[in-house]
Amino acid sequence: MSMNNGAEIRAKAEAYKDWTAQNLSSIIKVPAMSNDEKNRILFLKELCEKTGFDEVRVDGLGNLLARVGNGPKKLVIDAHIDTVGIGDRSQWKKDPFSGDIEDGLVHGRGTSDQTGGAAAMISAGRILKEMGYAGQYSVWFVFSIIEEDCDGMCWKYLIEEEGFKPDLFVSTEPTSLRLYRGHRGRMEMEVHLKGVSCHGSAPERGVSAAYKAARAALAMEALNASLKPDDDGFLGKGTVVVSKIDVHGPSQCAVPDQAMLYLDRRLTWGETKDQAIQQVKEAVMAAGIDQVEVVMPEYNITSWTGKKYGQELYFPTWKFPEDHPFVQAGVAAHKAVFDAAPVVDKWTFSTNGVAVAGAHGIPSIGFGPGDENQAHAPNEITRVDDLWKAAAFYAALPYVLEDAKL
């Protein structure tokens, strides 16, 4: 890619700065909580059709796919368009779905996490169409669903059920315009404990599942402290958090005989789901609890299209080395439009990359507008300037890849 192309792409992206921000504002005004995305998907479908993509379609699960170019290879740029809820409304200074644009910021739930990426993708598609991109890649912009409830399941469906497998994958989750090359995986676990119930007036006659749960929770605190980072220190250490404790018995006047701890386990490079389950069992038993069952739950849902689908709640870790050709192509694209190398880093949270890169090993990178710390927070915002810069990066990448050895 010549620097002239880079300059042209940057100029076009900057010229569409307000258009991109207005599109994001419009997207925010059509709420789409996880697994309730129909209205937003249909709105985006119409927007992509008006923008002039070569192909726009909705898959069986309900993801929206929009294409520019006809090359034999698939470059996929992905944004999940579902969001979490708003939480405590009183903590929001503005309507969470206002989409207000003020002082260089777009306000509302999902602006950073991560419909800012979706708005930038539409602008990138417009730029590629106007420049007549006709290279070796079909550039697919995918507006995916159900990520907040079950990250990566949308891509598990596309790859494993519809045979739509990218050659290269870009996540537009927020990176503060840094280039990301991996993140920790995760899994969810249920720890089931049993006690013996008796009347609450004589607790010595029974065995309290509540006290077992308390000891098991403290054992998880200790296990978390003992977990080690990956060999090169890039992703950091794994973690385990008790996110819920449920204790019950025959009545409010009885010693409880059942308890369940729900665990959020983040997995660094080299940690496996079987290893993580065994660690939990051993830690709980070391706390003096002799009867413990650790299971990994399943997620099953009927999507907005009526499609029933699901998976186990395990999301594999992924990372690619900094000298990987695709990571280096990302560096080159950044240099082409911004005359500077990007900061190369990783996410703290999890993305759809768990399925594409983690489960299927497809080369993947991340580059997105907005900040990770805005995710799921009240008064969520993203910067208007991030949006056009992200659009420029996405439009430049296919041209850079023409010369890359991938």
Express each pLDDT in 88-109 by its tens digit.
999 999 999 999 999 999 999 9
- Catalytic residue list: 82, 147
Judged against a pLDDT cut of 60, whether residue 2 lies above it is answered with no
What's the fold here for domain 3-183+317-401? Aminopeptidase (3.40.630)
Which pLDDT score is estimated for 5?
87
SS3 category, 113:
helix
Give, in order, the Cα–Cα distances in Å from 272 to each of 20, 24, 278: 41, 38, 10
Report the alpha-carbon distance of residue 373 to residue 279 in Å, rounded: 30
354 exposure class (CB count in 10 Å sphere: 0-12, 13-18, 19+):
buried
What are the pLDDT digits (tens) for 186-215? 999 999 999 999 999 999 999 999 999 999
| Every domain range in the chain assigned CATH 3.30.70.360 | 197-300
What's the fold here for domain 197-300? Alpha-Beta Plaits (3.30.70)
Burial 115-147 (b: 16+ CB within 10 A, else e): bbbbbbbbbbbbbbbebebebebbbbbbbbbbb
Report the alpha-carbon distance of residue 366 to residue 353 in Å, rounded: 9
| Every domain range in the chain assigned CATH 3.40.630.10 | 3-183+317-401
> How far, in whole angstroms, is CA 17 from its chain's centroid?
25
240-248: Cβ within 8 A, 24+ apart:
240/264, 240/265, 240/266, 240/276, 240/280, 241/265, 242/217, 245/213, 245/217, 247/209, 247/210, 247/213
What are the pLDDT digits (tens) for 40-95? 999 999 999 999 999 999 999 999 999 999 999 999 999 999 999 999 999 999 99
Mean pLDDT, residues 153-176 taken together? 98
